[in-house]
Chains A and B, each alone.
Chain A
Amino acid sequence: MTKQFALGIFEDEDVLLHAVENVRAAGVKIHDVFSPYPVHGIDDALGIERSRLPIAAFFFGMTGLAFSLWLQIYMLGFDWPMIIGGKPHISLPAFVPVSFELTVFFTCHGMAITFFIISGLYPRFKVPVMDVRATDDKFVMAIELDETSSQLPRLTQLLRENGASEVNQKEMTQN
C-alpha cells in the first residue's frame, strides 16, 4: 500500500519545535518528525505517549534472574554438585554475581531487540527513508495526506509560514 506524505524541511531545531506546536494547534496530525540527533522536548511537543519499554525491561530482567537462578541451582546443586571452598552446593551469596550479570544481560538485550522491532528497525533490503538529509543536517516533518493530496496547498502554506525552507511530496510504500 502506498501513502502520500507532505514533508516540511527545517533548518533549525528551535524553528522546528515551534512549528510542531503551531501545526498541531492548527489541527493537523503530524505523522512523525525525523532529526539527525535527539531534540530536547520534541516528545512533549509531538504529544508522544511515554514508552512502555520499561515494563518490558522489568519482565526481561525477571526472566534473566529466574533463568540464572535455575541455571546455577540446577547445575551446581543437582546435576553436577561440586564442593567449592567448603560451601554448601546451593549457596546464594556465591550466585549473586552471575544472577546480577544475567539479569542485566537479559534486560539490555531484550530491550534493544524489542525497541528495534517496534520501531521497524530490523534489517531489510529496501529501507524506507522519508528524506536522506534527515541523517545529515535537516529536520523533516512528515504529514500524511489523503489519496487525492487535496490538502497539499494548504499544508505547504502552513509549513512555509512556520519556517519550513521547502515542502515536498513523497510517496512511501508501507508494508
Chain B
Amino acid sequence: MATLTHQESATAEHLVVTDGARKTFLAIIITGVVIMVLGILASVLGWGAAEHTEAAGHTAAAANGAAHEGGPIWLKRLIISLWHSNLFFLGVSTVGTVFMAINYVAYAGWSVMVKRIAEALSAWVIPGGVIMLIVFLVGRHDIFHWTHEGIMEKGNANYDAIIAGKSGFLNLPFYVIRMVSYLVIWGAFSWKLRQLSLKEDLLGGTYWFHKSITASALFLVLYAVTSSMSAWDWVMSVDPHWFSTLFGWYVFASWWVSGIAAIALTAIFLKQAGYLRALTSSHLHDLGKLMFGFSIFWTYVWFSQFMLIWYANLPEEAVYFNQRLGGFDGRYTGMFYFNIAINFVFPFLGLMTRDAKRQMIVMKIVAIAILIGHWSDFYLMLMPGTLKGENGFLIEIGVAAIFLGAFLILFTRRLASASLVPVNHPFLDESIHHTT
C-alpha cells in the first residue's frame, strides 16, 4: 500500500565523495597502470609468445614485417586499446544525455529519480572527445588501414582499389571534420541540458523543463544520425573492405544498454550508501526492464547482422565472421561465444522474473556483467581488424582500468556538484510515487 501513504516531498540530497572512495578510484588507476606495464613488458620480452613465433616460422615473420610499419607491437596494442576503451566510455557517457533526452521528450515521470545520474555520466564526453582526437591524430596509422600513405594513389605500392573507391568518405580532412562535429554536438547538448537542469534547481518553474524538451528533441535527431555515422567512422572503418548496413545500430545498441546498466549500477550504489531515499524497487524494476529489453535488442541487431552474412556467404562480407569464428588459429572463437553468453543469455535468464529486477544484488551482478560484456563486444569489433593475430589482454585490461578510474573521478565529482534529486523538476512527485 506504499502508493497511498503520503511521503514527505523529496528534498535536496548532496553526495559527499569520501576519501575512501577517492582512494579506491586512484587504486583502480594504479592497478591499471601496473597491469598495463606488465602487459607491455610481457609483449617486449615475448613471454608466452615464444613458441607461437617459432611454430609459425619464416612465413609469419615475413608477413609481420610487411604488416608492421615501424613501431613495436606493444605500442600498437597500447594505441588501439586507448581507442577501444575510450570508445566504450565515451559512448556510455553520451548515453547519459541520450537517456535524459528521451525521457524529456517522452514526458516520462518515473526516471526523474535517476536523472542526475544520467546527467553526471556525460561528464566524460569532453575529456573523452579530446582523448579520442589526440589518439586519432597520433596513432591513426596503427588503427586505420585506410590512412596508410599512398593507399589511394594509383601506381603506388600500397594502392588498394577498394579503399581508393571510398576516398570520398574516408579521407583525412572529412574524417576529422565529422569526428569534431559529432563530439561538439554531443558535448554541447550535454552541457546545455545540464545547465538547464541546474537552473531549474535554482529558480524553479516549468520554463526550464520546456526548454529542455526543445533541446532534447533537437539532440535526439542529431544523435540518431551522429551515433550511426560515428560507428561507421570509429569502428567499422578499421575493416575498410568490409561493410554492414546496420552496423550503426549495432554499436548504438551496445552503448545504450551499457549506459542503462551504468545508470542502474550507480543508482544501486548510491541507494546502498544511504542516498536517494525516495528510490524504490519500482524504479529498479523499470531500469531492469530496460536492461533486459535492450540486451535482447542488442542480440536482435547482432543476429540480424550475423544471419544475413552467414546465409549469403559472400566472401567480402563473410570475412568478418571468418576472422572471429576460427580465424587466426581460433583465438577469437572463445570470446565470440562468450560475447553472446554474457550479453544475451545471462541478462535474459538473470532478469527474466519480476523479483530479480527488484533485487539490488541481482541487478548489480547483471549490470556489471553487461558492462564487461559490452566492453568485450567492442574488443571483438576492433581487435581482429587491427591487431589480427597479435591481440592480447593485459595491456587492454590495464588501459580499461585506467579509464574506469578516471571516469569515476569525473563522474562522482559531477554527481556531487548538485543535488542528487532534481528538486524543482515538475515530475518529481510522480517519480516519488512511482509504482510498477
Candidates B306, B312, B354; contact of A93 at CB < 8 Å: B306
What is the distance, in angstroms, from B3's C-beta to the closest C-beta of chain A? Answer: 3
CA distance A18 to B4 in the complex (A): 8
A154 interface residue per 8 A CB criterion? no
Q: A21-B1, A41-B435, A45-B4 are in contact. Are A85 and B312 (CB under 8 A)?
A: yes
List A contacts of B45 (CB < 8 A): none
CB within 8 Å for A97 and B435 given contacts A21-B1, A54-B354, A85-B312: no
B4 interface neighbour in A21, A93, A94, A97, Cβ under 8 Å? A21
Q: Which of A124-153 contact B (CB under 8 A)?
A: none
B1-30 vs A: 1/0 string, CB under 8 Å?
111100000000000000000000000000
A44 in contact (CB, < 8 A)? yes
* B311 beta carbon closer than 8 Å to chain A: yes
How many residues in A have their beta carbons less than 8 Å from beta carbons of B? 16
Across the interface, do B307 and A96 meet the contact criterion of CB distance under 8 Å? Answer: yes
Quick check: B1 and A93 within 8 Å, CB to CB? no
- Chain A 80-100, CB-CB to B under 8 Å as 1, else 0, gives 000001110000011011000
Partner of A41, one of B3, B307, B354: B3
Beta-carbon contact of B311 and A41 below 8 Å:
no
Judged by a CB distance under 8 angstroms, whether B310 is at the interface is: yes
B64 contacts partner chain A, Cβ-Cβ < 8 Å: no
Instruction: Give the distance in Å from the alpha carbon of A109 to the alpha carbon of B2 in the complex.
Output: 33
75-122 of chain A: CB within 8 A of chain B: 85-87, 93-94, 96-97
Question: Is residue A73 contacting chain B, with contact meaning CB distance below 8 A?
Answer: no
- B367 to chain A minimum Cβ distance, whole angstroms, is 22
A158 at the interface (CB under 8 A from B): no
Indicate if the CB atoms of B303 and A96 lie closer than 8 Å.
yes
Chain A's interface: helix, strand, loop or mixed, by majority?
helix
B245 within 8 A of A: no
B313 touches A17 (CB 8 A): no
**Contact yes or no, A93 B310, CB < 8 A:** yes
Q: Which residues of B contact A86 (CB under 8 A)?
A: 313
Check if A94 sits within 8 Å of B1, measured CB to CB. Answer: no
Known A-B contacts A41-B435, A54-B354; the reply to A87 vs B311 at CB < 8 A is: yes
Interface centre among B1, B2, B303, B312 (most CB of A within 10 A): B1
**B2 neighbours in A (Cβ, 8 Å):** 44
A156 to B282, CA, bound (A): 36
Question: Is B156 an interface residue when CB atoms closer than 8 A count as contact?
Answer: no
Residue B59 at the A interface, CB < 8 A? no
Q: Which of A21-79 contact B (CB under 8 A)?
A: 21, 40-41, 44-45, 50, 54
Could you tell me the distance in whole angstroms from the C-beta of A154 to the nearest C-beta in chain B?
24
**Residue in A40, A44, A94 whose beta carbon sits within 8 Å of that of B311 in the complex:** A94
Give complex CA distance A102, B4 in Å: 41
Contacts of B313 in A (CB 8 A): 85-86
Mask for B345-367, Cβ within 8 A of A = 1, else 0?
00000000110000000000000
A50 to B1, CA, bound (A): 14
The distance in angstroms between the C-alpha atoms of A50 and B354, with both chains bound, is 11
Measured CA separation A134–B4 after assembly (Å) = 22
Q: Which residues of A contact B311 (CB under 8 A)?
A: 85, 87, 93-94
Contact B353 A94 (CB under 8 A): no
Shortest CB-to-CB span from B104 to chain A, Å, is: 22
A17 contacts which chain B residues (CB < 8 A)? 4
A44 touching B354, Cβ below 8 Å: no
**B4 cross-chain contacts in A, Cβ below 8 A:** 17-18, 21, 41, 44-45
CB distance from A51 to the nearest CB of B (A): 10
User: Which A residues are in CB contact (< 8 Å) with B303?
Assistant: 96
Q: Is the CB of A44 within 8 A of B3?
A: yes
- A87→B1 CA distance, assembly (Å): 57
> With the chains together, A50 CA to B312 CA distance in Å?
47
B1 x A44 contact (CB < 8 A): yes
Least Cβ distance of B268 to chain A in Å?
23
Q: B117-145, CB under 8 A of A: which get 1 and which 0?
A: 00000000000000000000000000000
- Distance in Å from the Cβ of B337 to the closest Cβ of chain A? 13
Given the known A-B contacts A17-B4, A40-B435, A41-B3, are A54 and B353 also in contact in the complex, defined by CB atoms under 8 Å? yes
Chain B residue at smallest Cβ distance from A17: B4
A54-B354, A85-B312 are contacts. A40–B3 as well, Cβ < 8 Å? yes
Q: How far is the CA of A21 from the CA of B4 in the complex (A)?
A: 9
Task: Tell me the bound Cα distance from A86 to B311 in angstroms.
Answer: 9
Within 8 A of A (CB), among B383-430: none
Q: Which residues of A contact B310 (CB under 8 A)?
A: 93
Contacts of B306 in A (CB 8 A): 93
The minimal Cβ–Cβ distance linking A111 to chain B, given in whole angstroms, is: 15
- Chain B residue contacts of A40, Cβ below 8 A: 3, 435
A-B contact pairs, 18 of them (CB 8 A): A17-B4, A18-B4, A21-B1, A40-B3, A44-B1, A44-B2, A44-B3, A44-B4, A45-B3, A45-B4, A54-B353, A85-B312, A86-B313, A87-B311, A93-B310, A93-B311, A94-B307, A94-B311
Other than A40-B3, A45-B4, A87-B311, give 18 A-B pairs with Cβ distance below 8 A.
Answer: A17-B4, A18-B4, A40-B435, A41-B1, A41-B4, A44-B1, A44-B435, A45-B1, A50-B354, A54-B353, A54-B354, A85-B311, A85-B312, A94-B307, A94-B311, A96-B303, A96-B307, A97-B307
Residues on A close to B: CB < 8 A?
17-18, 21, 40-41, 44-45, 50, 54, 85-87, 93-94, 96-97
3 nearest A-B pairs in the assembled complex, by CB-CB distance: A41-B3, A44-B1, A85-B311
